[in-house]
Structure formats: structure tokens, C-alpha cells
A and B are shown apart, each in its own frame.
Chain A
Amino acid sequence: MELNGDILIGAPREKVWAGLNDPEILTRCIPGCEAMEATSPTERTARVAVKIGPVRARFVGHVRMEDIRANEGCVLRFQGSGGAAGMAKGHSNVELTDEAGGTRLRYTAQAAIGGKLGQVGGRMIDAASKQMADQFFTAFNEQMVGVPEVEAVEATPAEPAPGATAAPQPAFVPRTVHAPQPAASGEGVRVLWFVLGSLSTGFGVWIASLLTS
């Protein structure tokens, strides 16, 4: 499955790149992101609580950054798991170019979906992914346009993760969780989030196939 898109961000390229690498900005833009940590300088693990329709699920994903070109773009390889339900694996590419009005951010993502999700969930994965990508970038653009030129990133204590049996928090307000390690690539996290969102949405969609033809 493939996802492509581009968006004009109202900020210069360097600022956009810095924003995409700023975990605090990212977690503000990703609904349901609960935790993010670096397992190596170029690898990240994130846990995202996803809420779509009746689905409330937590997915864990891993992202590895490659071909990092500061202020220009990079490639990300990602892998996400929803347990027995299925998994997704793929890569994504993000490129930044100058344009009148700010920075043009172009992204492509390709994923292979396996397991149950791959069999039945594919139909609206793209719709869910696109919607979540749109939400992310709208929020990201607001962060870019609203954020002052020089920003001191404050450390906020990571909130304790909810117990395994507790219902996940509703994703009305993204929780701010500060990753203790250096910045994750924004694109990686977004794509990761796209994949994770796809997993649960694919399920929701397939589940709806029971109700509809």
C-alpha cells in the first residue's frame, strides 16, 4: 500500500527540519502518543494509543532512520505490531524544499501489511492513514507557524504509563510526553503513527464488514 502527499508549511526549511526532530512538538501533533524513546541514535520506539470508532488499542512501533540529510530529508524504515492481529512493515521518504510561503514537505510511504490485517483490513487503511496524516500535519503546521524563532525545549516529566488493564485515555488532548533522548525524526514518527493507525483502522474496517457488505 502506498501513501503520498505534500503540504506547504509556513516556516523556513531549517525550522521545519528542527520541528520534525523535536519530540515535544511531535508528541503534541500525534494524538494518543504515550511514549517515545530512542533505542539507538537512529532508532525509535513509540507506543501510541489509537481510538477509531469502537477500537481502543495500543500499538508499538519501531523506526530506523537512514540517509539523513539535515534540513533536506531522510528515509525511514518502520515496523509496527498489533500482536496476533497483524503487523506492518515498510519505509517512507520525506523531502523538504523551499517554496514561496515556506517549505514544501513531500512524503511517500510504502507498507506491506501482514497477518489478519493484511487479509481483510486493507480497504480503508489508506483513508485512515490519510486522515491521520492530515491531522498530524495540520497540527504540525500550527506548531511551526505559532512557535517563536528561538525555542527552549523544556523537559517535562514523562507521565506514568497507564496500567495494562486500564482503558486507554481518550485521544481528545494529545498527551505531552518528553522523550528523554535526542529528537526522533518527525517523519518517522508520523509514518509510524500512520502504520499504527492503519493497523487498528484496518481492523475497525474489517469488523464493519460484518455489519455491511
Chain B
Amino acid sequence: MKAAAFDYVKPTTIDQVLALLQQHGDDARLLAGGQTLMATLNMRLSEPQLVIDITGIESLRGISVQGKVLRIGALATHTDIEFSPLVARHAPLLKAAAPHIAHRAIRNSGTFGGSIAYADPAAEWPTCLLALGGTVVARGPKGERRIAADDFFTGLYSTALQPDELLAACEIPLAGVDHWFGFSELARRHGDYAIVGMAATARREGDALHGLRIVLLGVDATPVRARQTEALLEGRALDTATVTQAVASLRSEIDPLPDLTNTPDTKRHLAGVLLHRMLPTVATASATA
């Protein structure tokens, strides 16, 4: 289908965008990569009066190190992240997750900011941001504010962003030398929605993990942190018994929602499988470190 008619504007500054949002409110939609918005408009699930193209705003671009954080501009594409040397060094979890996102043509256009703002619970970036303990930088009429990932994803396709705010960038703590990460997802075909996926980060000391963040995608209305299992694993040597306990803990702490083809039990089981496969990589990483 073709999108319904709309007006189009391409501002060059964030202030212009904010002014337009104030003026038009819900009648306007922001366009970045368009990989979600354009499909929405094509199917006429939304008929805005105005599309505000933000891809002309230079300050939203770029991936750079700023002090102790890696700053990823809202307009960084999935491909940018996949091949960025800074990401490979300072947030390798993102590099590991990027190839799982749809296909190359989508990745060339789709943006990091768009994915975070859309907050699909089955998407890779929101889950990774939560696993990395990142921060969203929002710009609004009152200025800039920072929202921790733990506070950002509030419900299905819902975030802490106000309607008059723009997601400008995300900040991710630089990976330390003891950084351990894991990313895995299960889908029937590459590019499909994951049945369940997992992103995890921690600090590794010997064979034990500290400060774990284990996040699941595809099981609930938002990415889900497995806090009970994180606490269980804190500081413990990852022998077989511990891994078995952790898998059981994960399966007991999550309450998955089904989708058309997978029951809650399937998702619960598969979440455990992902953890079971991921934890032994800690020992391997230690061996090669």
C-alpha cells in the first residue's frame, strides 16, 4: 500500500525539531531510518499530517568516546554500529548483536535511536542497552536530561520519553579490561523475530562474574532483567552445579507471554537453554584472556 499524503520537513537543528513537535504534537511523526515508521505509514496504521525528517541534524550523528562513556548518536545506523572500531573495542556486545538485526538493507537505514525509542520488546538494541547499563540522552524544551536504561522501558512500545522530547543519543559505559559479555538469540530463520534472546554483561574475575546484568528479549512487554538469577550468580564459580541452579532460577523467575507459535513454556525452556549455553563461555574467555 501507499502511505496517505503528508507534509514533509527536514530541519537542521534539534531546536527546530522541538519547536515543530510543540506546534504539531501527535499530528507529527519523527522520521529517522524509517524502517518502522515507513512500514507503519505504508499500511496506513498511522496517517500523520507532518513527517519531520531528522536525518539532516548533524549533532545526532556519530559514535565517539566522551570521557568514560561511548556516545552513540541517535542516527547511528545498525550497520554503522556493526562495523565501528569504537564499538568493537568499547561495547563489543553491540557488535555481536548487530548481525541478528533483520537484513543488511534494513541495517543500512535503521537507526539506533529509532530502535530504542520504539522499544520493541523483541528488538536487540533495547535489550543490549539494558544489559550494558546504558543511559538515554533526551532533548526537550526544558533542555537535556538523562534516563537510565533501567528506568527507560516502561511498557509495550512505551518509554520514559515525553511526547515533546527527542532521543538524541545513548551513552554506554566503556568496557573495562575485565568485561565479559554474551549475546544469543533463537529464531526459526535468520531475520525472523527471535523466539527468545539474551544479552548479558558482567565483570569477570577468574572464573566468577560480578555485577551481572542478564536481560531477555521476546518474553514480555519490555526487555526483562533476570535479577534473581543475577544475584544467584554473583561472585560464584561457574561449575556445573551452579550453572544448573542458575538455569532453574531463570526458568522460575520469568513469566513469559506467549506469541502465535510459542507457548510460555517454550519460551521459558529456551531462555534456560540460552543461559546454559552462555555461562560456560565465561570459562573459555578466561582461558584465552
Q: A54-B46, A203-B43, A204-B45 are in contact. Are A209 and B260 (CB under 8 A)?
A: no
Contacting A at CB under 8 A, from B214-243, are 218, 220-221
Q: Are A124 and B35 in contact (CB under 8 A)?
A: no
Q: Are A213 and B46 in contact (CB under 8 A)?
A: no
Q: A57-B46, A125-B259, A126-B257 are in contact. Are A210 and B122 (CB under 8 A)?
A: no
Q: How far is the CB of B121 from chain A (nearest CB, A)?
A: 7
Q: How far is the CB of A210 from chain B (nearest CB, A)?
A: 5
Interchain CA distance A159-B123 in the complex, whole Å? 39
Complex interface: chain B residues within 8 A of A122 (CB): 259-261
From A130, A201, A211, B123 is in contact (CB under 8 Å) with: A211
Q: A54-B29, A56-B45, A165-B47 are in contact. Are A213 and B40 (CB under 8 A)?
A: no
Interchain CA distance A53-B193 in the complex, whole Å? 18
A52 interfacial by beta-carbon distance below 8 Å: yes
Q: A54-B29, A124-B259 are in contact. Are A204 and B101 (CB under 8 A)?
A: no
Q: Are A52 and B157 in contact (CB under 8 A)?
A: yes
From B258, which residue of chain A is reached at the shortest CB distance? Answer: A126
Among A118, A121, A210, chain B packs the most CB atoms within 10 A around the CB of A210
Interchain CA distance A85-B1 in the complex, whole Å? 11
Contacting B at CB under 8 A, from A198-213, are 200-201, 203-205, 207-213
Q: How far is the CB of B275 from chain A (nearest CB, A)?
A: 20
Q: Is the interface of A mostly helix, strand, loop or mixed?
A: helix
Q: Are A204 and B40 in contact (CB under 8 A)?
A: yes
A128 interfacial by beta-carbon distance below 8 Å: yes
Chain B: interface residue count, which band? 35 or more
Q: How far is the CB of B104 from chain A (nearest CB, A)?
A: 12
From A57, A128, A211, B114 is in contact (CB under 8 Å) with: A211
Complex interface: chain A residues within 8 A of B163 (CB): 170
Contacting A at CB under 8 A, from B258-281, are 258-261
Q: Are A212 and B122 in contact (CB under 8 A)?
A: yes
Q: A1-B260, A209-B102, A211-B102 are in contact. Are A131 and B156 (CB under 8 A)?
A: yes
A55 interfacial by beta-carbon distance below 8 Å: yes
A113 interfacial by beta-carbon distance below 8 Å: yes
1/0 per residue, CB under 8 A from A, across B18-42: the answer is 0000000111010001011101100
1/0 per residue, CB under 8 A from B, across A122-152: the answer is 1111111011000000000000000000000
B120 interfacial by beta-carbon distance below 8 Å: yes
A153 interfacial by beta-carbon distance below 8 Å: no
Q: Are B118 and A211 in contact (CB under 8 A)?
A: yes
Q: How far is the CB of B26 from chain A (nearest CB, A)?
A: 5
Q: How far is the CB of B170 from chain A (nearest CB, A)?
A: 16
B206 interfacial by beta-carbon distance below 8 Å: no
Q: Are A208 and B120 in contact (CB under 8 A)?
A: yes
A167 interfacial by beta-carbon distance below 8 Å: yes
Interchain CA distance A1-B257 in the complex, whole Å? 11
From B159, which residue of chain A is reached at the shortest CB distance? Answer: A53
B124 interfacial by beta-carbon distance below 8 Å: yes
Q: Are A85 and B29 in contact (CB under 8 A)?
A: no
Q: How far is the CB of A47 from chain B (nearest CB, A)?
A: 16
B106 interfacial by beta-carbon distance below 8 Å: yes
Q: A1-B260, A212-B102 are in contact. Are A56 and B47 (CB under 8 A)?
A: yes
Q: How far is the CB of B119 from chain A (nearest CB, A)?
A: 8
Q: Are B260 and A123 in contact (CB under 8 A)?
A: yes
Q: Are A124 and B156 in contact (CB under 8 A)?
A: yes
Complex interface: chain B residues within 8 A of A200 (CB): 45
Q: How far is the CB of B20 from chain A (nearest CB, A)?
A: 15
Q: A54-B40, A167-B48, A211-B102 are in contact. Are A126 and B259 (CB under 8 A)?
A: yes
Q: Are A167 and B49 in contact (CB under 8 A)?
A: yes
B115 interfacial by beta-carbon distance below 8 Å: yes
1/0 per residue, CB under 8 A from A, across B44-55: the answer is 011111000000
- Additional pairs, 18, CB under 8 Å, beyond known A2-B258, A123-B122, A123-B261: A53-B119, A54-B29, A122-B259, A124-B156, A127-B156, A128-B221, A131-B221, A167-B27, A167-B49, A170-B163, A204-B40, A204-B45, A208-B118, A210-B39, A212-B102, A212-B115, A212-B122, A213-B185
| A contact residues vs B (CB 8 Å cutoff) | 1-2, 51-57, 84-85, 113, 118, 121-128, 130-131, 165, 167, 170, 200-201, 203-205, 207-213
Closest 5 CB pairs of A and B: A122-B260, A53-B157, A123-B259, A208-B120, A212-B123
